[in-house]
Chains A and B, each alone.
Chain A
Amino acid sequence: MTLPEPGQADSVILRVENLGRSVPGKILVSGATFEVRKGETLAIVGPSGSGKSSLLRLLNRLDEPTTGTVYVDGTDYRQIPPRELRRRIGMVLQRPFLFPGKVAENLQFGPKQRGQNLSPAEIEELLAGVGLSGFESRDVSNLSGGEAQRVSFARALANSPEALLLDEPTSALDEAAKRDVETLIRQIGQEHGIPCVLVTHDVAQAARLAERALVLEGGQIVRSGPVKEALHA
């Protein structure tokens, strides 16, 4: 199952090969082939309905691909139990969908699924990492939109993922909250070395955050490469 590539084998976290999905009467994504490397942010841009979310959902197998596969650290992801796969490849959506209760309980959710428990110190560290020190016993129902989204980042990070999938994580936020989340995304890549796949319709945001970009149209990758070239071609 391991297909090492000379030179950069260590740095490739996800290798996506000919990935596609169609449903009766519609091709959602087809022939997607690309890599995600350690510490980088890869932007996926494209017009509404071009299949960005559909592609992202294939990467943690929330939907089943109808062609191709993804290699996670060299292993075909169909060989990895889905729950373990999703622990390793975290996801943050446009809306945070926090579970009712306290912030700390939300952070515990992922580890609890495997029978583990975060210590108070670990919770504090995760919250400090997203700029929300002291929020552990706050009820999620009275957080601002930006705070809620940062809690959902901390909740995904609590699983110690090897990569993060982000689907329009700032598009429901105002300017100030958006800048906070952008800063956070930069830190996740630079300080933790966790690569991010960032779906965004905002080309300027892609240019601010990503090193490389894929442009999707009609479910197909029409351009890819370093972010400036891919976006301004």
Chain B
Amino acid sequence: MLKTLFHSQLQLGLAQAGVAALTALLVVMAAARRGIHLEKDLAIAMARGLVQIVAVGSILLLLLRSPSWTSIFLLIAMIIAAGATSARRAKGMPGAFQVSTWSIACGAGSVIALMTALGVIDTPITALVPVGSMLIANAMNTNGLALNRFRSDVLAHVGEIETALALGADGKSSVSPYVQVSFEASLIPAIDSLRSLGIVWIPGLMAGMLLSGARPIYAAIYQFVLLAMIFAASGLTSLISTLLIRARVMSPAEQLILRPGQ
């Protein structure tokens, strides 16, 4: 319907964005009638998201013809932004930003590097950056979930942890049950997307590949490749971040630093 009204792609895009945003607004208005006010949050998030993605789209346009090594810088910038974003999920945790950034860099970064070296990810910037950013974004979510869970579990078990310390346990082993639980819980989304691949959802990349003329069976296999890489990147990130944060919540004298009200 919109296609008959708008002829340039840019106009069509803006019109489509308008319709999608309107739908989201309707949902918010429905929520407002039940006393749940998300208007401001949503308006800000939508405006921000649109500006960010358009800006990135324009930068990609510029970079399309740049040599592929420039993608390294883009990916590094994304990793730092991802570290800052998921550190916010861990309020009051000492060193959350460093822990998140290092974990995402090691977790997602090493999977990206290995897969690119093996030829699983293509080297042109148009392949490396979108696929790499997908791995980084998923590693970020997993890391945020892991830190958030670890924080709330430790705060809910201060008595147990300090009882173990008071009996002569070392700091690391007294919080390790919560490390394990956080690691497992953080990977539930990645496992579930792998499990439900093609049944509950078809990743956007597949649509893109089909549109650009790839053979459907190859496009399908590559979705699996992508999700398996996402799982590897997320799992490695979460493993590293839970181990790093475990050391941060204890002082050198085996004292629990993360306590309620701080």
Instruction: Spell out A's residues near B (CB within 8 Å).
Output: 60-64, 82-84, 86-87, 90-91, 93, 95, 97, 99, 109-110, 113-114, 155-156, 159
Give complex CA distance A90, B166 in Å: 7
Q: Is the CB of B167 within 8 A of A95?
A: no
Q: Given the known A-B contacts A60-B166, A62-B166, A113-B167, are A83 and B160 also in contact in the complex, defined by CB atoms under 8 Å? A: no
Size category, B interface: 10 to 19
Residues in B with CB closer than 8 Å to A159 are 167-168
Give complex CA distance A91, B165 in Å: 10
Give complex CA distance A159, B166 in Å: 11
Residues in A with CB closer than 8 Å to B255 are 61-64, 82
Judged by a CB distance under 8 angstroms, whether B163 is at the interface is yes
Nearest CB of chain A from residue B17's CB, rounded to whole Å: 47
Residues in A with CB closer than 8 Å to B170 are 83, 113
Q: Is the CB of B162 within 8 A of A114?
A: no
Q: Is the CB of A93 within 8 A of B168?
A: no
Partner of A156, one of B159, B167, B253, B256: B167
Give complex CA distance A95, B162 in Å: 12
Q: Is the CB of B167 within 8 A of A109?
A: yes
Give complex CA distance A109, B168 in Å: 9
Give complex CA distance A82, B169 in Å: 10
Partner of A109, one of B164, B251, B253, B256: B164
Q: Is the CB of A86 within 8 A of B159?
A: no
Nearest CB of chain B from residue A90's CB, rounded to whole Å: 7
Q: Is the CB of B165 within 8 A of A64?
A: no
B:41-75 near A, CB below 8 Å = none
Residues in A with CB closer than 8 Å to B251 are 64
Q: Is the CB of B159 within 8 A of A82?
A: no
Partner of A110, one of B159, B167, B256: B167
Judged by a CB distance under 8 angstroms, whether B122 is at the interface is no
Residues in A with CB closer than 8 Å to B163 are 93, 97
Give complex CA distance A84, B162 in Å: 15
Q: Given the known A-B contacts A61-B253, A64-B251, A83-B254, are A155 and B160 also in contact in the complex, defined by CB atoms under 8 Å? A: no
Q: Is the CB of B253 within 8 A of A86?
A: no
Q: Given the known A-B contacts A63-B255, A64-B253, are A86 and B160 also in contact in the complex, defined by CB atoms under 8 Å? A: no
Q: Would you mind naming 11 contact pairs between A and B with Cβ atoms under 8 Å apart?
A: A61-B255, A83-B168, A86-B165, A90-B167, A95-B159, A99-B164, A109-B164, A113-B167, A113-B170, A155-B167, A159-B167
Closest to B161 in A: A97
Residues in B with CB closer than 8 Å to A156 are 166-167
